[in-house]
C-alpha cells in the first residue's frame, strides 16, 4: 500500500493535558492522536506537531502531519478521530498533503495569543482561559513596549532557564496589545467588541498577539509577564529594549500562567 502524508488541524483545550508532546505520565495531544490513528492504521504511527505547546496551553488551530497507509478519505478519518478522541481535543480538518510536508519544518510563521482579564473579577466562563490581573494596567505603556519586539532580535531574556536552543535569535513581524469588552475571548483582532487602549477601569479582556518565524520555550509567556510589569508601572516601556540588549532571563518579568496562551494559527510556504 502507498504511504500518504496528511495534514491535520487540531483544536484543543489544554487545561487538563500535559501539553502537545508525549510524556511518561498524563495525556498529551500527540499521544491521544497517535493512539486514535494507530487503531485506524492497524500499526503504530508518529504524529508531528507544528509547535510543542506546554501543559495548560490551548490551541485554536494546531497543525500536525502524519504518514499513513490506510485508504480512508480525509473526511472519514476526521469523523473517526473525533469519535474516539476526548471532548477537549477536536480534529477540525484533515487534508492530503505533499509527501515532503512536515508540520514543524515546513512552517513559515506561527501566531500566538495571550489573554488577560483586567479588573476586579473574571467571568466563570473564562477563568480557565485567562490570566486574571486585578490592579489597573497602563495599556498605552504595554502597547509601546510590545512594539519594541518587532524585528529580528536576540530573545535570550525571554527563553526558559535550562533551555538550550541552537540560537535565541527570532524574527517577530507583529507584536500588539489590544483590549476587548465583554466575553470576546476568541474573537480575531479588529472584530466587533474591541475597545481603545488606555487605562482599564472595569473587567476587560486584554489580548496580546504575536506573530513570528519561531518561538523559544516559554517565550510568549515571559514576554507577557514582562508586559504586565510594565503595565503595573514597575518599569517604563523602554525596559523592553534594554532586556533585548542585555539578554538575561533573570532581569525580565515572571513567566505568565499557561492557561491564557493560545496557538492561533500556523502559516506555511
CB-hemisphere CA count at 13 Å for 193?
15
* Assigned C-alpha cell, 78: 476526521
The active-site residue out of 13, 54, 98, 229 is: 54
Distance in angstroms (rounded) separating the CA atoms of residues 114 and 130 = 8
The H or E element that residue 40 is part of is: helix 29-41
Which DSSP string corresponds to 165-204?
A: -S--EEEEEEEEEEEE-SS-TTPPTT-TTEE-SSB--S-E
What's the CA gap between 72 and 96, in Å, rounded? Answer: 11
3-state secondary structure of 126: coil
140 is catalytic: no
Q: Using CA atoms, how far apart are residues 187 and 209, in angstroms rounded to an integer?
A: 12
Q: Provide the annotated active-site residues.
A: 54
Amino acid at each position: 500500500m502507498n504511504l500518504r502524508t496528511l495534514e491535520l488541524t487540531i483544536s484543543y483545550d489544554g487545561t487538563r493535558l500535559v501539553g502537545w508532546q508525549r510524556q511518561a505520565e498524563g495525556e498529551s495531544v500527540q499521544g491521544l492522536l497517535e493512539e486514535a490513528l494507530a487503531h485506524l492504521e492497524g500499526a503504530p504511527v508518529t504524529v508531528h506537531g507544528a509547535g510543542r505547546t506546554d501543559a495548560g496551553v490551548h490551541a485554536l488551530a494546531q497543525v500536525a502531519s502524519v504518514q499513513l497507509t490506510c485508504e480512508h478519505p480525509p473526511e472519514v478519518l476526521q469523523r473517526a478521530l473525533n469519535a474516539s478522541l476526548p471532548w477537549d481535543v477536536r480534529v477540525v480538518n484533515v487534508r492530503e498533503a505533499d509527501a515532503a510536508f512536515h508540520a514543524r519544518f515546513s512552517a513559515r510563521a506561527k501566531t500566538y495569543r495571550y489573554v488577560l482579564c483586567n479588573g476586579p473579577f473574571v467571568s466563570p466562563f473564562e477563568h480557565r482561559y485567562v490570566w486574571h490581573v486585578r490592579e489597573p494596567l497602563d495599556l498605552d505603556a504595554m502597547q509601546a513596549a510590545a512594539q519594541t519586539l518587532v524585528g529580528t532580535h536576540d530573545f535570550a531574556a525571554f527563553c526558559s532557564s535550562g533551555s538550550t536552543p541552537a540560537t535565541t535569535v527570532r524574527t517577530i513581524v507583529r507584536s500588539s496589545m489590544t483590549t476587548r469588552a465583554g466575553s470576546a475571548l476568541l474573537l480575531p483582532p479588529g472584530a466587533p467588541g474591541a475597545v481603545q487602549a488606555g487605562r482599564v477601569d472595569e473587567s476587560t479582556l486584554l489580548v496580546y498577539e504575536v506573530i513570528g518565524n519561531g518561538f523559544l520555550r516559554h517565550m510568549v509567556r515571559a514576554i507577557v509577564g514582562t508586559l504586565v510589569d510594565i503595565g503595573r508601572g514597575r518599569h517604563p516601556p523602554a525596559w523592553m529594549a534594554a532586556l533585548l540588549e542585555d539578554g538575561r532571563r533573570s532581569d525580565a518579568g515572571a513567566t505568565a500562567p499557561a492557561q491564557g496562551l493560545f496557538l492561533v494559527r500556523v502559516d506555511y510556504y
